A and B are shown apart, each in its own frame.
Chain A
């Protein structure tokens, strides 16, 4: 069993070192993504994703030795519909330019999207435990089901008091085809 998987859902965790002097710029770029539209929205197999700038590890008072990062790191995680290999292909092809805007500010990142997949795999960290509430449902199925549920609610309200024949006709027209 692969700990990066739960059903068909997969977890990806990537930690990459941010180039010296690039942290503020990278942070500003990432923080502006919400207004500009998330590039992850163009990866239709992504359920959830995040970029996090990790400045350093926190040292607790009882901890004798600190573990200091040599530089800030960029953490990227994604919960997506597997498998990983084709997901990374889609990431490189679908949002390659934006991905290079982000990881291009990290040490070792290739100059073009052709080498990006290998770079992300090189910096991937395997998951220990991955938990998914609906492990067999793809993003497409979740969205489709949410939309069908809304239509069912609307239909149930609208069809109250309909005669059986009219109810059946309306159901077949509105809800019988997915």
Chain B
């Protein structure tokens, strides 16, 4: 059996069990880039990281912990059995660490990041455009590689839970810093205001 997830048994999350750790899912995709993508993608990476900054559309995808896109153009030499390999085509490597389901993830990516997906994968051979999603999902399945080992430091936490916890902690620390010096009635009021403020995070 090959490592490609399309051939592997999938869990209820829509991906292979080794791509799952707790609520966290891994996706690993490598696609072959046409000649013009070799020049275009580094320019886009430069623009996206140094000029534009984080994509506001990507920020809407509240289920992604970390994601990356990388261009592989050469493989360095590692002794006589593995000389340097300069690739004829650059390879676009994409990985994401997210929560939820595989299908929902690709759906959300396709609908919210439609333009960004065209920009990033438009130079890859066989890329069918993000919409409609069925051909795009088939494309990702063809190029996805199952992890042999995937690790999350906080496997039971979703991205939303982490963001909520960080917000609660910051506000809790602010209340805790002044709690001792307050009158009991004033503290009870402050505690109620704190709960109202953070209730969507609890």
Q: Do A and B bind each other?
A: yes
Hey, which bits of chain A sit against chain B, CB under 8 A? Answer: 1, 3, 6, 9, 11, 13, 15-17, 19-20, 26-27, 30-31, 33-34, 38, 40-41, 44, 46-55, 57-63, 65, 67, 69-71, 73, 75, 77, 79, 106-109, 122-123, 125-134, 137, 139, 141-146, 148-149, 152-153, 156, 159, 163-165, 167-168, 171-172, 175-178
B170 → A minimal CB distance (Å): 8
Choose one: A75, A107, A153, A165; the contact of B79 (CB below 8 Å): A107
A133 → B minimal CB distance (Å): 5
B166 → A minimal CB distance (Å): 5
The B137-170 residues at the A interface (CB cut-off 8 A) are 142-143, 145-154, 157, 159, 161-166, 168-169
- In the bound complex, do residue B165 and residue A149 qualify as a contact, i.e. CB atoms below 8 Å apart? yes
Docked pose: A134 CA to B179 CA in angstroms:
28
List 10 contacting pairs A-B, 8 Å CB cutoff, sorted by A: A46-B153, A62-B126, A128-B70, A129-B48, A131-B58, A142-B154, A144-B169, A163-B184, A164-B187, A171-B191
Residues of chain B contacted by A1 (CB below 8 angstroms): 49-50
- In the bound complex, do residue B152 and residue A47 qualify as a contact, i.e. CB atoms below 8 Å apart? yes
Docked pose: A48 CA to B150 CA in angstroms:
8
Choose one: A62, A73, A139, A145; the contact of B153 (CB below 8 Å): A139
- Residues of A contacting B: mostly: mixed
B38 → A minimal CB distance (Å): 12
Choose one: B72, B172, B191; the contact of A167 (CB below 8 Å): B191
Contact code string B28-56 (vs A, CB < 8 Å = 1, else 0): 10111000000001100100111000110
- In the bound complex, do residue B2 and residue A126 qualify as a contact, i.e. CB atoms below 8 Å apart? no
B139 → A minimal CB distance (Å): 9
Known: A47-B66, A52-B145, A54-B145. Is A167-B82 also a contact (CB below 8 A)?
no
Choose one: A27, A70, A168; the contact of B85 (CB below 8 Å): A70
Known: A46-B151, A129-B45. Is A149-B126 also a contact (CB below 8 A)?
no
Contact code string B117-148 (vs A, CB < 8 Å = 1, else 0): 00000000110000000000000001101111
Docked pose: A31 CA to B8 CA in angstroms:
14
Residues of chain A contacted by B2 (CB below 8 angstroms): 55
Choose one: A69, A70, A79, A133; the contact of B162 (CB below 8 Å): A133
Docked pose: A61 CA to B142 CA in angstroms:
12
A126 → B minimal CB distance (Å): 7
What is the size, in residues, of chain B's interface with A at 8 Å between Cβ atoms?
Answer: 85
Residues of chain A contacted by B163 (CB below 8 angstroms): 133-134
B65 interface residue (CB < 8 Å to A): yes
Docked pose: A148 CA to B202 CA in angstroms:
11
B134 → A minimal CB distance (Å): 17
Residues of chain A contacted by B78 (CB below 8 angstroms): 16-17, 106-109, 122-123
Docked pose: A41 CA to B91 CA in angstroms:
30
Choose one: B24, B26, B79; the contact of A108 (CB below 8 Å): B79
Choose one: B18, B48, B162, B187; the contact of A168 (CB below 8 Å): B187
Residues of chain B contacted by A171 (CB below 8 angstroms): 176, 179, 187, 191
Residues of chain A contacted by B105 (CB below 8 angstroms): none
Residues of chain A contacted by B97 (CB below 8 angstroms): 47-48, 79
Known: A19-B81, A128-B41. Is A50-B147 also a contact (CB below 8 A)?
yes
Residues of chain A contacted by B166 (CB below 8 angstroms): 134, 137, 141-142, 145
- In the bound complex, do residue B153 and residue A48 qualify as a contact, i.e. CB atoms below 8 Å apart? yes
B76 interface residue (CB < 8 Å to A): yes
